[in-house]
Every structure is written in structure tokens, then in C-alpha cells.
Structure 1
Amino acid sequence: MVEQTPQTEASAQWIVEDLWAAREAQVLIAGTELDVFTHIFRGARSAEEVATAIGAPIRGVERLLDALVGIEYLDKQDGHYTLSSLADKLLVRDKDTYVGEMVQEMKLLWNSWSNLTEVIRTGEPVQPWDDEETGRRLFPSLVRALFPMSWGSARAAAAVALEADDRVERILDVAAGSGVWSIAFAQQAPRARVTTVDYSEVTPLTREFAERYGVVDRFDHIEGNLRDIDFGAESYDLAILGYILQTEGEDRSRDLLEKCHRALRPGGRLLIAEMIPDDDRTGPAAPLVYAMDMVLYTEHGDVFTMTQYRDWLHTAGFRRVETIDIPAPWPLVLATK
């Protein structure tokens, strides 16, 4: 992987390195798509053996393998290729820790990102995720890819939140997707029963992940558009909003916070996972760049600051708003009714 030059010392080199990153990403996507890492794990060592396993001409395969060495996903000695520790852990299809779907997600988004200039000029998203028809069609393919991105954070969040208060018997997971957040809580709160809310096209994947992690017998599902569903009143000890407010935009997000407040019992808590920039929107880079995803894929979506979340949550009726610091680039928000 290219070590980026500090910007204070750079001229055009800084720009070159940023642009070059797109090539490296495509190399990684191709290696994952062709199962290069899995073939090497299963015993293919030379370029010829990997090419045979893939069923492709050796010229492109050998250059791909060398490129993967260059960006440190493979090692090479005497013409034989081996996996780096990172690739061995995360890019072998045979392993439970496989995150290849996450890499594949980038291919799904690649063409859309090439339209960013035009989207900014026109203000029209390429395919609005916040539109129900589009969401029902696209989200099932994205859900599987997103699970590994949040699993570590979800487990850490559950541990911290339940240590503070383990009286959690009913959990509401709104826009549950894979169920990554509620699965983590269900594993660590054996008395808890989970109700998920998501499109009917997504629920089978939620069940699949819940079964894989041994909690499917404690999951119930409400299918439909979260904007139309009544969550009930004072029914839950914990509600979860995992990366959904960003697609909803300010007005719908505030409505959703009010619905969650109503659904929680007194003393109940709302967990919010989002990419949160600084109040002055000068960093960190990830949420600021991710805001461009919202421009590309939604009509009203955005990333919101901690000050905005605090204001909205207090207005919705939550009496305490705090953050949970876990091993993640940004903290989680925890609000108490």
C-alpha cells in the first residue's frame, strides 16, 4: 500500500497518490472477485497454479498477483505467492471472518461514483436509496456486504451498554438490515427478544445472520417501510438506529427520533450509530467524504454533527444524551428517555 506523502511537504505528488488509490482499490476488487486469496489458501502457489484455478490466461493473473504483492495483500518468494496476515484472516472465502462481500460492495458503487460531477451539477441522485422501490431492490445486495463493517463495533457497544444497565428484555432494531447491532445485543443479553423493522426483501437476510449467530429463536420481524410503521408506545427497553438517519435527512430523522422515543419505556435507551463529523465539518475525512454518498444516492440524506443529534434528541424528549467510546473511528450516541 502506498504511504501517502504528508501534505505539508507535497506538491502534485499528493494529488497523484489520491488518484492512484483508485487503481489499488480495483486491484483488490479483482483479486477478491476472482477468489485469488481463497485459491492460494487452498494450495495454489505459483502464477500458473492460480491461473489454472481461476481458468484465466496467465498474463493478467501474474500481473494481478504481483500488484497484490505491491499493495501488501500477498507476499512473494522464489515465484511462489502466500497470503499476508490480513488477507489470510479476512479475504479467504472458507473462513467465518471473510469480508469479501464488503469489497464487492465497492464494485456495486463504482459506476455511480463516476457520475458524481453530474450529480452535483444537477442535484439529482443517481438512484435514490431513500425511495422505497429503489431501496427494496438494492438493499438486499448491500446488507450482506455491510455486516462485517459493523460487527466489531456492535459487539463492543453491546458490552459497554449492557454493563451500564443489563435490564434489556425487548429490543427494537429499526432498518435492521443484517441485524448486526441487535444480534450483538441478543448474544450478550440472553433474556432479550428482538423486533426488527425492514423491507420484506431484507428480512430473510436478517434471519440468516440471526441463525448463524445462534439467536434466531428470539427474533420477530415487522416488514414494511419504516416511515409507515407504528412502533407502538412504551414497549421497548432499547431501540437501535444503525446507519439509517444519514439516508433520511433532517426532517425524517427528527420524526424517527420522536417515534423511537414514544416506543421506549421510561428509562429506555436509544442507540445511534452514524458517521459523525466535527461540528465545524473540517474532519474526520471519512464522514465528510461519505456525505458525498448521500448526495449520490439520496434526495435529502447527509451526515450530521454531534451538536445536531443532541439538539434533536432533547427536542424529541430524551433527558440524557451521551456517547460511547469504542474501538471505532467515531463514538456511538446513547440517549435515555
Structure 2
Amino acid sequence: MAESSPAPSQTAFVQQLNFWARDASNESAALLGAFALGMFNTIPVEGSASPVSLETLANRLGANIRGTRSVIEPLVGLGFVRFENEVAGSSTDRYSLPVSSTFLREARFASRMLEARSWWLVSAKLPEAIRTGAPVEWQGESRDLLGWYRRQFLAPREPVPSPVEADYEDRAVRGFLRTQALVTSGEVGLLAALVPGPRPLAELAKATGSHPEALHVLLGVLGSMGLVRQEGEAFGFTELASRSLDASSLPYFQSAFPATMDYWEAFGHLDEAVTQQKFRLDLRDSETARRIYQRNASRITGIFVSHVKLGRKAAELVTTLRPLKDARVLDVGTGSGVWGAAFGLADPSVHVTYLDSEHVLEQVKPNIAKLKLDGRARYWAGNCLSVDYGESQYDVILLPQVIPALPPESLLPLFQKLARALRPRGLLVVSGYLLTDRRDGPLDALYFSLRRYVSNEGDVLSLPDFQRLLVPVGLTSFRSFEMPIQQVVVASRGDVSFPDAAPAR
């Protein structure tokens, strides 16, 4: 079996694995969704006409502005669309196609992308195809899903006119198929079966309940991804994969799969969300939100200790800005309680209030008790948008990954209430993704923003976006800081001194 070139380092390989598990399908959704929307027929080629504004582009597509932006921003971040502006997020935004991207307007390329998109929802039946070795039924038709995988990964490919076109096609057509191959490998137990070492095909097929020929196709796909190699009659992990997916790390890696699949149907109907605001995964629906967020809190509980260590970095940052002795901390939308716990551990006199829905708090309480912090904990069941935070109640207010889950129109009223609840020298600490000032990166933040749109939630913000929310409520001093795996925005009324260094981006 041919094996792709190995990643240059273990770190790079792990990053690639995590991308395939979490973001490759988001990327494919944007790249294929743009064709379903007919987006490239409405964007002029650079030099042939004036760049088009976001508002004009949305009007031409019969779409809403925010949905259009959520699709085009990843295209800008990847370099397939050119973006010009003077003030991020303003009416000066203008888009055009670089000359290198003119293939996006060609009918033959569009036809290939639309054909690939027709396999999006079908690909979710890959576990069935692997177990039976037969075509799958989809909307009354028989679809040869295994044949499609062979064509995309195992058959010789036709020459592509340019490296840019080849890159777009690979990301759009094969990105989500790689994600589904990993998810399926986890579901049928193939990844776990490979952990002990190389095994013959027949043995792997028996262990996973798979059809041998179909499993051979899946192993070939994993081989093209650099995860699997054939050694005589046996198949096993490559050296990099064996170090990255051992018995202890595999469960954590596979824990990302359910969240990825939660969005699969929604991404398959991305054009509906953008043009009709019809959301197949609507997290503004209370029951849907309860199911998704309760599971997310449960997943993080499984890796709670490691996330507390990351949260303590933020607590250490705050202690450089103001003392935490006797501080009253409010953790808004606490999730698993990680961030509030990190601040509770930072000083034995800190008291933390954990605010979230009742069913989430039931998972928080055992986490806090294990750290022996429950004596300095208060659990507040409520909706962060509707509760009364009071006046001058808290020294530090935490918003851990909360902003992207909230409707954009709710943010200014929320920040007004939070600013009022801060004591003198109080700090508002917002953690999560932070976009560049131009909203053209980083890519993982843009993909996360697309997830937020397609599930009818909030948005990922840039520092100028935060400025438009913070300054009007009196939080006139703010800075962004780089933290492990995320960013933090810290804001005050101007009565706390920040380091003189330029803000991190």
C-alpha cells in the first residue's frame, strides 16, 4: 500500500490529525457551499471590474449578510478570494477574485464541486458501507460510496492545470471525506484495533465486523493520510501515528468525533442556512442546546484536569494586573467549571460563582468537589442573558467561550449588565477564539465562526469588534493576550494598568 509522505514532525502530524478530526469538514463546507450558492459568478475577477461589497454580494445571492460573510471569510483566509477594506466589518469591505482563482468561474470546475457536494450527506453512511461492502441507499437511489472513495484516494488522478486549483479541489472534495474516514474508523473500532500493532486484514475485519474488501478501501484511505502502512500481509499504524494514537491518547482524539458529526447535516444544507436562514442544527432551540451543551460539558469533564492547567494561565495573567486576594469571581456560562476552578485554585481566599443552566451545573459540582473548592463555590442556575447581575458585585467576571454561543444582538445589553456588576478595579476576562482585525484569520477561528452561523448562534469577534462593544459600556481599557490554544481579551474601566507592549493578535 502506498503511503503519503510523513509529516515533518510529531507536532505537525498531531496538528494535521486534529485538523482532519475537527476542521477539515468545516473547510470543505465553505468551499463547496460557495458553489451551491453560485458565489463565484457574482465576484468579479481582479482588474476586470470594481471589487464587490459584502452587501451587494449578499443581495446578488439572495442571502443575508452574516451568512454570506461566514462563507466568504474562510475563502479570504485561504487566499482564494481577495479582500480590501479600510475598517474591518464596515461598508468598505470589497471582494474580488485573484487572477489565480479564475478557475472558480469555469463551468467544468463548478460541475466537479457540485458532484462532490452531492456526496456530503451520503458520506455519513460510510460505517454502513464498511460493514456491508455494498452500495448504500440514499433518497431512493443506490450510491456506490466505496467506489467514490476509491476514485478520490486510490485511483490515478487526472492532471490539474494549476497548483491553486489542485489545492482548492483537495480541500473541498477530499477534506470532508478524510474526516468521515476517521470518524468511521473510530466507530467500527478500527483505530482501537490498530493500537496493539500490525494485524492481517482478515483479523481486522473480524475484530471490527467489517467486510474485508471494504475495510481494505478504508485502510487505503488512511494510508494516503499517513496513518496506516502495510507490512507484508499485515496493516498497522505508521510510526508517527503509533506515537500519536496510543491507548491513552486515542480516547481523547476520538472524543472530537461526536461534535463534528453534530454539524454534518447542517453543513450539508449550508446554502439553506445562508439564503433561507433554515438551520438544520438550531442551537437557539432550548432542547437542542441542552443536548449539545450537556454533552460538551461531559466531554470536557473527561479531560478536566488538563484544562484546569490551561485556565490557570489566565488566572496567572490576572494576578499580574491586580491581586486576587478575597476576590469575588463570576464564571458566566461555566460549562464544565474549568475556568472558575482555575481562579479558585489561584488563591485560597477566592470565592467563585458558577452560572449556567441547571443540567450543566449538575456536572460542574462533582468537578469542583474533586478539587476541594466547593466550600468557596456558589452555583447559580440561570440564563446569562436574562439574570440580574446586580451592581458592583464582582472583582473578576469570566466569559469562557461564551460569546460565540450568543446572538450578536444580545452582546451589547449583556456587556452593559456585566460592566455594571464589576467592582472598582474589576476585570472582564473573555476567552476563546479571536479574529485578526481584518477578520481574515486565523483559519481555525474562521471555521469555528462558520459552525456558529450554521447552528444559528453567535459569532467570533476581532479586537475592533470588541472595541465596539466595550467602549460604549465604559470598559474603555482592553487588551488581547495569547494563551495556550486560545486568546484572552481583558477589559477594565481604565483603573487597571496593562503592560505597555502592543496587543497580541
TM-score bucket of the superposed structures, by smaller chain: 0.7 to 0.9
Q: Is the alpha carbon distance of 1:316 and 1:73 closer, same or farther for their aligned partners in structure 2, counting shifts above 3 Å?
A: farther
Aligned length: 334
* TM-score of the superposed pair, with normalisation by structure 1: 0.83
Task: Supply the RMSD in Å over aligned alpha carbons.
Answer: 3.4
2:441 paired with 1:287: no
Q: Does 1:15 align with 2:171?
A: no
Describe the superposition over 1:5-38 as per-residue Cα deviations: whole angstroms up to 9, x where unpaired: 9976624312211121111111111222334333
The separation in 2 between residues aligned to 1:23 and 1:127, in whole angstroms, is 21
Q: CA deviation digits over 1:141-170, x for unaligned, max 9?
A: 233446769937534323333344441533
Once the two structures are superposed, the pairs formed by residues 117-266 of structure 1 within 5 Å of their partners are 117-145=271-299, 151=307, 153-167=310-324, 169-211=327-369, 215=373, 218-266=376-424
Structure 1 stretches lacking a partner, 5+ long? none
Sequence identity percentage? 22
| Counterpart residue number, 1:81 | 236
Deviating more after overlay: 251-260 vs 43-52: 43-52
* Distance apart, 1:113 and its partner CA: 0.7
5 Å-filtered alignment, 1:62-101, equals 62-74=216-228, 76-78=230-232, 79-82=234-237, 85=240, 88-89=243-244, 91=245, 94=248, 98-101=252-255
Q: Give the letter aligned to residue 311 of structure 2.
A: A
Does the CA-based 8 Å contact 1:132-1:225 persist in structure 2? no
How far apart, in 2, do the equivalents of 1:310 and 1:25 lie? Answer: 37
Q: Measured at CA, do residues 155 and 64 of structure 1 come closer, stay the same or move farther in structure 2, by a change above 3 Å?
A: farther
d(CA) in 1 for partners of 2:226, 2:344: 37
Shift of the 23–96 alpha-carbon distance from structure 1 to 2, 3 Å rule, reads closer
CA distance 1:306–1:55, change in 2 (3 Å): same
Q: How does 1:269-280 map to 2 (within 5 A)?
A: 269-280=427-438
Match of 2:168, as an amino acid?
A: I
* Greater Cα offset, 53-62 or 242-251: 53-62
Is it true that 1:331 corresponds to 2:484 in the alignment? no
The 1:66/1:214 distance shift into structure 2, 3 A limit, reads farther
Greater shift, 70-79 or 219-228, is seen at 70-79
Structure possessing the higher relative contact order (Cα contacts under 8 Å, 6 or more residues apart): 2
Unaligned regions of 5+ residues in structure 2, if any?
A: 8-15, 17-77, 81-99, 101-161, 494-505
3-state SS, counterpart of residue 407 of structure 2: helix
The whole-number CA distance in structure 2 between the counterparts of 1:86 and 1:216 is: 40
Moved more, 116-125 or 37-46: 37-46
Alpha-carbon separation, structure 2, partners of 1:212 and 1:94: 22
Counterpart residue type for residue 472 of structure 2: T
Mapped to 1, the partners of 2:323 and 2:289 lie a distance apart of 34
- Does structure 1 conserve the Cα–Cα contact (< 8 Å) formed by 2:404 and 2:452? yes
Measured against aligned partners, the alpha-carbon deviations of 1:64-90 in whole angstroms (never above 9, x if no partner) come to 33433332344554424136556655x
Give the Cα separation in 1 of the matches to 2:238 and 2:194: 7
Q: Which has the larger radius of gyration?
A: 2
Structure 2 match to 1:317? 474
Q: Contact conserved, 1:92 with 1:98, CA < 8 A, in 2?
A: no
Alignment check: 8 A CA contact 2:263 2:281 kept: no
- One-letter code of the match for 1:248? L
DSSP-derived class of the 2:263 partner? helix
Q: Is the 8 A contact 1:238 1:269 kept in 2?
A: yes
Change beyond 3 A, Cα 1:11–1:322: closer
Q: Is the 1:153–1:327 contact (alpha carbons within 8 Å) kept by the matching residues of 2?
A: yes
- What do residues 300-322 of structure 1 show as CA deviations (whole Å, max 9, x unaligned)? x2222211212321222224211
Q: Distance in 2 between matches of 1:113 and 1:240?
A: 31
Give the Cα–Cα distance (whole angstroms) in 1 for the partners of residues 358 and 274 of structure 2. Answer: 32
Aligned residue for 1:313, secondary structure, equals: helix
Moved more, 286-295 or 270-279: 286-295
Partner Cα separation in structure 1 for residue 204 and residue 348 of structure 2: 45
> Is the CA contact (8 Å cut-off) linking 1:277 and 1:287 kept in structure 2?
yes
